[in-house]
């Protein structure tokens, strides 16, 4: 166009200057770091809306597409989800998220192997020669016999407990870094629940809330893949070796390994009575616009 119409054919005032940092689609992009961030004002606005819904314990037609002039009382499950979302907005690292996680996932930085049985569960961290094990209590065995603590939930619980035990040490030092953790699980339902953070099982829903909070707060990306028990033999043995010849074999296999204890504070993270949100660290994004639930956010 410049060659045909001449130097005055392009109005330079219509073009923005070249920059490696720009705002588009309501997000902040950095082409040097290859990252995307959520603006602070957008985080504050979302947090204000969540706090208002938690404060009033109801939602308007606009908020939840309720009938005209109507309000919907928020269910207990919805309240837990709102608390989860609030925790992520307050504690999550929503700045400088690497773009490589929005396509095909990169190779994992950490790989964990886990399995569960009717008597317990086990997770292995081969790169460090560490493992954790949990033997179920009488109360949990009763839930298993009643079908209320299914093998799917137990397998997912093994992944969540492993991340709670080791996750903090993987927390990156820079804000533009995200660690990819791969969990190898012998259960396709647990794999799908971990990858999608979605389930119809109430206990799994609580585990998903914990898992999502871990990812947001510690800058981790957790993915899960299926590994048959016939291949994952060591983790399978660890979930069952509590006495007899199995325990003897387990001790021989882990002679040079270190056991990481599972504290009582996290072992029942599948229960809604155990809340990852109540004991959260100090808020990262709290400011004068988000102090009063239900307010307009305007500073007077």
- The tens place of each residue's pLDDT in the chain, 300 residues long, gives 556 766 666 777 777 777 788 888 888 888 888 888 888 888 888 888 888 888 877 766 566 665 666 667 777 778 888 888 787 787 777 777 888 888 888 899 999 999 999 999 999 999 999 999 999 999 999 999 999 999 999 999 999 999 999 998 888 766 678 899 999 999 999 999 999 999 989 899 889 989 988 888 888 999 999 998 889 999 999 999 999 999 999 999 999 999 999 988 888 888 765 454 444 333 333 343 434 333 344 333
The domain tally of the chain equals 2
- The residue from 64, 99, 134 where one domain ends is 99
Write down the pTM of the prediction: 0.76
State how beta strands 58-60 and 71-73 pair.
antiparallel
In a domain? residue 8: no
Same domain, yes or no, for 131 and 76? no
Same domain, yes or no, for 121 and 88? no
In a domain? residue 185: yes
Domain extent, residue 37, equals: 27-99
Residue 229 phi, psi (nearest 5): -60, -25
Same domain, yes or no, for 72 and 180? no
Same domain, yes or no, for 94 and 112? no
In a domain? residue 124: yes
């Amino acid at each position: 166009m410049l060659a045909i119409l001449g130097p005055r054919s392009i109005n330079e005032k219509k073009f923005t200057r070249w920059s490696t940092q720009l705002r588009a689609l309501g997000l902040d992009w950095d082409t040097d770091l290859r990252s995307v961030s959520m603006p602070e004002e957008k985080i504050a606005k979302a947090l204000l809306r969540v706090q208002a819904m938690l404060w009033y314990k109801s939602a308007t037609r606009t908020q939840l597409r309720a009938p005209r002039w109507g309000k919907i009382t928020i269910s207990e499950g919805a309240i837990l989800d709102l608390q989860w979302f609030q925790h992520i907005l307050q504690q999550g690292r929503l700045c400088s998220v690497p773009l490589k996680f929005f396509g095909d996932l990169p190779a994992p930085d950490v790989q964990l192997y886990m399995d569960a049985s009717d008597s317990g569960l086990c997770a292995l961290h081969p790169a460090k020669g560490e493992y954790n094990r949990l033997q179920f209590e009488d109360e949990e065995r009763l839930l298993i016999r009643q079908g209320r603590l299914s093998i799917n939930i137990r397998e997912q619980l093994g992944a969540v407990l492993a991340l709670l035990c080791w996750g903090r040490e993987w927390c990156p030092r820079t804000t533009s870094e995200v660690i990819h953790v791969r969990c190898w699980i012998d259960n396709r339902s647990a794999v799908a629940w971990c990858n999608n953070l979605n389930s119809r099982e109430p206990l799994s829903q609580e585990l998903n809330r914990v898992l999502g909070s871990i990812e947001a707060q510690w800058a981790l990306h957790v993915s899960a893949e299926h590994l048959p028990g016939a291949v994952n033999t060591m983790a399978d043995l660890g979930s069952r070796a509590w006495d007899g010849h199995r325990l003897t074999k387990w001790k021989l296999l882990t002679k040079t390994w270190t056991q990481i204890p599972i504290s009582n504070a996290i072992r029942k993270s599948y229960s809604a009575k155990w809340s990852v949100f109540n004991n959260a660290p100090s808020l990262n994004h709290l400011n004068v616009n988000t102090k009063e639930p239900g307010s307009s956010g305007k500073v007077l």
